[in-house]
Each structure stands twice: as structure tokens, then as C-alpha cells.
A and B are shown apart, each in its own frame.
Chain A
Amino acid sequence: MATTATPAPPAAGYASGGAVPTAKKMVLNMGPQHPSTHGVLRVIVELDGEVVTKAEPVIGYLHTGIEKNCEKLNYSQAITLTDRMDYLSPLSNNLAYCLAVEKLLGLEAPKRAQYIRVLLTELTRIQSHLVWVGTHAIDLGAMSVFLYTFREREEILKILEHVSGQRMMGSYFRVGGLALEPPPGYLDMVQQFLDSFPARLDEYEDLLSQNRIWLARTKGVGVISAADAIALGCSGPMLRGSGVAYDIRKMFPYSSYEEFEFDIETQTAGDCYARYQVRMAEMRQSLKIIQQAMGKIPEKGPFKADAPGIIAPPREEMKTSIEGLIYHFKIYTEGFAPPPGEVYSVVESPRGELGVFVASDGSSHPYRVKFRAPSFTNLQSLPKLCEGRLIADVVACIGTTDIVLGEVDR
């Protein structure tokens, strides 16, 4: 039944020279098809004039049921699905999942494989941050940065392609080590990149760090305090931009990160500019780690753990020994069966704490796999970042949370 609208009461403040009262609030639907939501994010924004009074992220448009699918695949097959979650840093996802399964098995990858993993995941981190700087700059109106960052990103993708055969979805890390012996010459490509990249990084900072428009759009925008960031479960650059030095590579070292020297980059302002500074500085730290890893990787050595029945034997052995053939056949038909139990293993992905919870019931298929996606939890802080600010700032806030919708929705 339609009720007659009561006429709005005369505004008291208006006549007496106070603020102009607003007749009503407007609800605006941003997304799911919106260029600056970086995928299919929908934000229901309630506006009072141009000021956001309420913002509610709505997700699920990219839900592909990866966790359910993992239960139907065996442990090794599930690796290829992890690439597709956070498609800007597929190797971090591979690593998180492999480390979880290795923990379940009580297995450790050989040192050589661990260093190569560090090298490649740090390249992936740079690559992911480059996409972030580029797209975020486009969102805020600086087109040229995007073209430059994608040029450098392509160099990294070429290295990844050379190593794994795939530009993006490499699935190069396997349970117990790597998929293949890395090809000759890959370290030269990395060295070339290391030589040229610092100058390029300076170039980006020249373009942005002192840019007046950039400063106006990011400084003091989307502020979140350290206490709020912890309470909302933010991690990665989101948390470090608010002054909390939480980096899993330091706090719970994995894959031999304890042998590397690097600093945790933090800023205290907690705004979009602070998160920009953290990410730029992190790329320089990654370069440091890569340089150290280059020196550590032995020329020759095993790239897979020696675990008969779990890790497939080398092709040579499969062709020449009966045990090798049996293991090869069993691993590729049945897979391997970890002992029953549950583990939670974390890595520092470019976006924050990427956790993998794997439960085994003693069969060759994971009983349950859960990905604790950093984008998912970081996105939850969006209302906190943009409520009370202008509608244009919503774009900046979404940008600096650095979400990948594939990972948010899984």
C-alpha cells in the first residue's frame, strides 16, 4: 500500500545561514562492471551530495568454487587451480599451497629449489606491484605510468615464460620442489633485469611522488589506523602502511627467507600515499632479495625432494629401474596420500597474508582446502576507508587496497 509522503519539515539551519540540508540521500551502484573496480566488484554507495555516507562492497561475481573443486582433484592437480585465484601473483599462490601440502607430508624442498622459489616469487611480487602502480595511476588520471610499468612487467613475464613455459599461470612450483629443471640462461635474464630496473623505478617515482595531482588524490585519503587495520584483519602493504611491521617473511620465515637480508618497509600515515610508498619501497627490497638469491642458487643440484612414493622419480630412473616405473605409475594414477591431519600454512603474497588450510583424511585427495585470501579481508576495510569522504576518493581507496577479484571470490 502506498503511503503518502509526509512533506519534508522546513529546514531550520537553512534560513539561519547554516549548512544546506539535503533533501534525501542517493544510492549509487558502482560496478560490477566499472573500470576502476579492477574486475567485478560492486560497491553500493550511499551519497549525501558528493560525500559517501555508507559504502557496502558486494562480492561473489567471480566465485568459481575453487575450494570445492580442489576436493575432487588430487593434491598435485589442485596446484593448477591456485594459479587462477590471484592471477597477478600466481607463483605466490603455488608456493602457499605447496608449502601447506609439504607441511602436511613433513617434507622439505631441497635448498636449491627453495632459493629458486624465493627468486621467482620476488619477481612475481615486483610484477604484481607494477600492475598495481600502473592501474592505480590510471584510476587517478595519470595514463603514462601505466605504459611504463607494463613495459617492465613484460620483462619479468618473459623471464617467467623462459623458466616455466607460461607467462602467467606457470604452476611451476610443485609439491616437494619445482616442476622442471630451470633452463640455462635464466639467471642472465634476471641479472639484466636487475641492472635496468632500479633506474626505471626512479623514473616512476619522478612521475608520481612529487606530482601535485597524485599527492592531492592520495595524501590524507583513505586513512586507517593501525588498531583498525589489525581489528579488520588487514595484512600486507595495507597493514604496513599503517605502521605495523607485520611481514610473514620475517615473522614466520619460510622457504629459507631467514637467510636473506632485507627490511620491512613501513609508513605511519595509513593513507593511500603511505601504501603507495610502502609498495614502491618493497620493490627495492625485492631487488635486494633477488640479488642475494642469485648468489645462493647452486649451479647444479636436485630441484625436487627425494621422497619415493610422493615425488615422481626422474625420467631416467623411471626408464631404467622397476621401482622407478612403479612409483611413476602410482603417483600419476593415484597421487600420494598424506597422513590425516590439518595444517595452516602462510606466505607473504604481494597482497598480504595468504594462508592455506589443508585437511587430509588420509586419501590422495584433499579433504578440504581453504584459501585465506588477503584481498578478501583487505576489501572488508573499504567502508572504513571511504565513508565520510568524496565519491572520487572511493576509486583511490579501492585502488590502494590492491584487490584481485579472482582471489576475493575464489
Chain B
Amino acid sequence: MTTQEKGENPVVQKLKDWDAQAVAEVLEFRGETTVVVPREHLRRACEYLVSEPSLRFSFLSDITTLDRFPIEPRFEVNYHLLSLDRRERLRLKVKLAGDDPAVASVTMVWPTANWHERENFDLFGIRFDGHPDLKRILMPDDWEGHPLRKDYPVEGYR
């Protein structure tokens, strides 16, 4: 992975012009652009990416988490955005510390985020502040632990 300081991607350039604080890092890999956003700017950045007429990332494909245990910041929450009009994809990434894995919910921006955030809460224990109904979705309600975390055992007794 190489870091591009110039931000040749026009979307990244627009995002930087809008608020340079909202772009912590830009990663390019196999033709995919990832923008690392500080967690306090996430919701603002999402609102901007949806509402800006020249960007219109109106479709949220997916939200998924990566657990980098034991490296800190441990969690990386990835948002896969799609602009249907411009045929372009963008990945936003938020890095969260293991002792406080919380980030603002984007259900107000994209209603589809509801179930995706519940899934990430269920399997990784990420809290999404402002989510209307944050509860488990795949595991039973009384389940203990978050199974997709790297420190969750796959065999033997828990």
C-alpha cells in the first residue's frame, strides 16, 4: 500500500477542499481508493459525500469491520460507498481504539446502515452512537462476546 500525498483522485481532492481535517490518510490499492477519516468527522463527511451535487454517493453498499488485534487502534470500520450516477466507488475507513470502539451512526444518512451497523455491533462489539435500535442481529440476544473478534476462540470452551 502506498500513501498518495497529492490526492490525485478528484473525490479525495474535493473532500480535502471541503475540510482538510476530515482526511487523515489516503490509501490506494489495486485501483481502490480508501480515505481514512477521523471518527469525529465521519458523519459530517458522509453527509457531505451524499449531498454534494458533484459527488452524490447515494448508495451505501456495505459496512464491515477489521480487527487488527493486538495492534492499536484495533478496529477499522470500512464504509463502502457507491455513486450510481457517476459509477464510482469509495471506501471510508475509521480507526477505533479497542477500549472505546464507538463511532457515530450513519443511519440518518443512509437508512440501509441500520442492519449493517447492527451486524458490526453484534459480531465486533462496535457501538454506533445515535443508532435507533442497536441490538444483536445474527447471534441470539443472550449471546456473550463478539464472535468475529480475533481474540474470540474458534474451538474449545469459551
Contacts and interface: CB of A to CB of B under 8 A. Distances in A.
Interface of A: 59-60, 63, 65, 67-69, 72, 103-104, 106, 230-233, 244, 246, 251-252, 340-344, 346, 353, 355, 357, 359, 367-368, 370, 372, 376-377, 380, 409-410
A357 B89 CA distance: 13
Contacts of B158: none
Nearest to A341: B29
B138 A59 contact: yes
B112 A355 contact: no
B6 interface: no
Nearest to A232: B112
Contacts of A65: 147
B61 A63 contact: no
B84 A230 contact: yes
Given A233-B59, A233-B112, A344-B89, 16 more contacts: A63-B138, A233-B61, A251-B87, A252-B87, A341-B30, A342-B32, A342-B78, A344-B80, A357-B62, A357-B80, A367-B66, A368-B66, A376-B115, A380-B114, A409-B138, A410-B138
Nearest to B140: A60
Query: Interface residues of A: mostly helix, strand, loop or mixed?
Result: mixed
Interface centre among B59, B66, B91 (most CB of A within 10 A): B59
Contacts, number: 89
A355 B62 contact: yes
Contact of A344 (B60, B62, B154): B62
Nearest to B111: A231
A353 B82 CA distance: 11
B89 A60 contact: no
Contacts of B148: 67-68
Interface residues of B, number: 34
Interface of B: 1, 29-30, 32, 34, 58-62, 64, 66-67, 78, 80, 84, 87, 89, 91, 110-112, 114-116, 123, 136-140, 147-148, 154
A265 B154 CA distance: 44
B33 to A, nearest CB: 11
Given A231-B111, A342-B29, A359-B66, A72 B154 contact: yes
A232 B107 CA distance: 10
B41 to A, nearest CB: 21
Nearest to B64: A370
Contact of A342 (B59, B61, B66, B114): B66
B4 to A, nearest CB: 14
Contacts of A63: 138-139
Contact of A104 (B30, B67, B91, B154): B30
Contacts of B112: 231-233, 377, 380
